[in-house]
């Protein structure tokens, strides 16, 4: 890693795709199986530019959060890594990517955690998905101080939004949203106390999405839930939780899925499989025994679990991510209070990061002072061989106190100056660091140094400033050309 990374100049670089920027076929190709995520995140670190990495993978987004010490080379590496893992040419991938950098990347994660960037605004499931992504990245060692702080700030922000606003009443989770749409296809009144009374459902999978589906179906009064999974023991664990909640439930192995499908009204599939789990022939086989009763298939997986051809069968309604995207609303009334919380948390995070950015410099300054003090003490020892040990200790103690007092004020002021993010000239910065009276630096400089013309002053006339936020909504030649 180059020296710039060690001096606090690294920043968060986000490259992502979501239901807003990419069609489902592209999202499917970019999505990575859970077992391959560690390899992907380690590959993001396989260079001298990226120092941290966290991948957020959900049913409708893939986001690659990294910490880069150089924007263009970092962006190139992330995009090339995505292309390598997806098998997509870079030129086919780029039009669907969005890029956020520095403060804008932090703001995006806070919006995501708050459910403000979700397909269904206000959904809470994303908080758990972000927490899981952070924990996985931490376990394999790809998260450092910056992404740790950002992830924790985002989780805190999401919790505040859902606790302090009414956004939850306007936005549901993807699970509840999709099942509500399924009720429409079954001509069931969703406002009834127990709209699914007398109905049965099949859940394929036994992970978090499957568990949420079971819980929501139970709240709607479902009579029975059948859980089918490749690993029967995991299906049995989900069944046990459903039974504890008062829902009648049974577990079956995945090969019995077509048989179970013949007796249900709703099928919810949420597996981590790479290929289709529910094929057209499975549904056709079950359909022959249903006496024309309608069947709703809800596919919550990415890549898709349910073959698109099933939608062509009579009385079969397929709801997948692509269709749900078009159905989801674009906004809710309670967004403004939520966005105010995001703005507040973002300001605090940016101030915290700017204050931390100066820490390496402060440490270097203190170490320099310690080294100089040690040199002077050695010189003093050589020059005063007759000095008593007591006197030598008194001199050393006084010199150390002097150094500590001299560095205390600039240390505190440097952190304040950095956190404020203001543009400050070198003389003003020096005056602020040592809390000198206004005008002292300028008067001393004018008295002792002949002024250099502006065109020859070079960096000495520059201002100290924190880089502004950079946001790139899509990648183009202009963003990736000049390196």
Distance CA 257, CA 202 (A): 8
Residue 276 appears among annotated catalytic residues = no
Report d(CA 301, CA 57) in Å as an integer. 11
Which residues belong to the annotated binding site for substrate? 58-61, 118, 123-125, 129
* 121 dihedral zone (left: phi>0; alpha: psi -120 to 50; beta): beta
- C-beta neighbour count of 294 within 10 angstroms: 15
Give, for 360, the enclosing helix (H) or strand (E). helix 359-383
Q: CA triplet 195, 201, 206: central angle to 5 degrees?
A: 125
Question: In 282-438, which ranges are E strands?
Answer: 295-299, 316-319, 424-425
DSSP string, 202-229: EEE--SHHHHHHHHHHHHTT-SEEEEEE
Please report, in range form, the residues annotated as the binding site for NADP(+): 205-210
Binding-site residues, please? 58-61, 118, 123-125, 129, 205-210
Q: Would you give the DSSP letter of residue 333? A: T
State how far the Cα of 370 lies from the Cα of 82, in Å rounded to an integer. Answer: 46
In the set 59, 137, 202, 316, the catalytic residue is: 59
Contact predicate 65/54, CB 8 Å: yes
DSSP one-letter code for 452: P
Q: Would you name the residues annotated as active-site residues?
A: 59
């Amino acid at each position: 890693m180059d020296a710039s990374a060690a001096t606090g100049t690294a920043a968060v670089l986000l490259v992502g795709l979501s239901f807003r920027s990419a069609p489902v076929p592209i999202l499917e190709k970019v999505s990575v199986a859970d077992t391959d995520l560690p390899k992907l995140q380690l590959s993001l670190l396989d260079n001298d530019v990226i120092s941290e990495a966290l991948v957020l993978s959900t049913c409708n987004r893939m986001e690659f959060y990294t910490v880069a010490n150089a924007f263009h080379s970092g962006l190139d590496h992330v995009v090339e890594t995505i292309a390598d893992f997806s098998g997509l040419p870079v030129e086919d991938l780029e039009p669907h990517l969005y890029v956020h950098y520095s403060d804008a990347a932090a703001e995006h994660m806070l919006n995501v955690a708050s459910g403000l960037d979700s397909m269904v605004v206000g959904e809470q499931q994303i908080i758990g998905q972000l927490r899981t992504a952070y924990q996985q990245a931490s376990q394999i060692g790809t998260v450092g101080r910056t992404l740790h702080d950002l992830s924790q700030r985002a989780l805190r922000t999401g919790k505040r939004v859902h606790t302090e606003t009414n956004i939850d009443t306007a936005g549901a989770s993807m699970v509840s949203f999709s099942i509500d749409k399924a009720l429409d296809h079954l001509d069931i009144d969703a406002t009834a106390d127990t709209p699914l009374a007398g109905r049965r459902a099949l859940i394929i999978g036994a992970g978090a999405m499957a568990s949420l589906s079971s819980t929501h179906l139970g709240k709607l009064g479902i009579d029975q839930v059948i859980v089918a999974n490749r690993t029967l023991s995991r299906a049995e664990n989900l069944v046990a939780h459903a039974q504890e909640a008062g829902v009648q439930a049974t577990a079956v192995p995945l090969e019995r899925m077509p048989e179970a499908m013949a007796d249900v009204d709703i099928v919810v599939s949420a597996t981590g499989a790479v290929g289709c789990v529910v094929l057209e022939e499975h549904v056709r086989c079950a359909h022959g025994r249903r006496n024309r009763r309608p069947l709703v298939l809800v596919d919550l997986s990415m890549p898709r679990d349910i073959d698109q051809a099933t939608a062509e069968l009579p009385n079969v309604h397929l709801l997948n991510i692509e269709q749900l995207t078009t159905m989801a609303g674009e906004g809710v009334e309670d967004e403004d209070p939520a966005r105010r919380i995001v703005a507040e948390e973002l300001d605090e995070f940016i101030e915290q990061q700017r204050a931390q950015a100066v820490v390496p410099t402060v440490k270097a300054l203190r170490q320099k002072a310690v080294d100089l003090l040690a040199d002077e003490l050695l010189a003093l020892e050589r020059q005063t061989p007759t000095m008593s040990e007591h006197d030598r200790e008194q001199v050393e103690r006084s010199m150390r106190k002097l150094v500590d007092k001299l560095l205390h004020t600039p240390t505190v002021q440097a952190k304040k100056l950095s956190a404020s993010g203001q543009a400050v000239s070198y003389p003003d910065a020096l005056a602020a660091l040592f809390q000198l009276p206004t005008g002292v630096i300028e008067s001393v400089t004018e008295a002792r140094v002949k002024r250099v013309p502006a065109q020859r002053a070079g960096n000495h006339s520059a201002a100290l400033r924190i880089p502004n936020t950079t946001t790139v909504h899509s990648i183009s030649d202009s963003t990736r050309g000049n390196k």
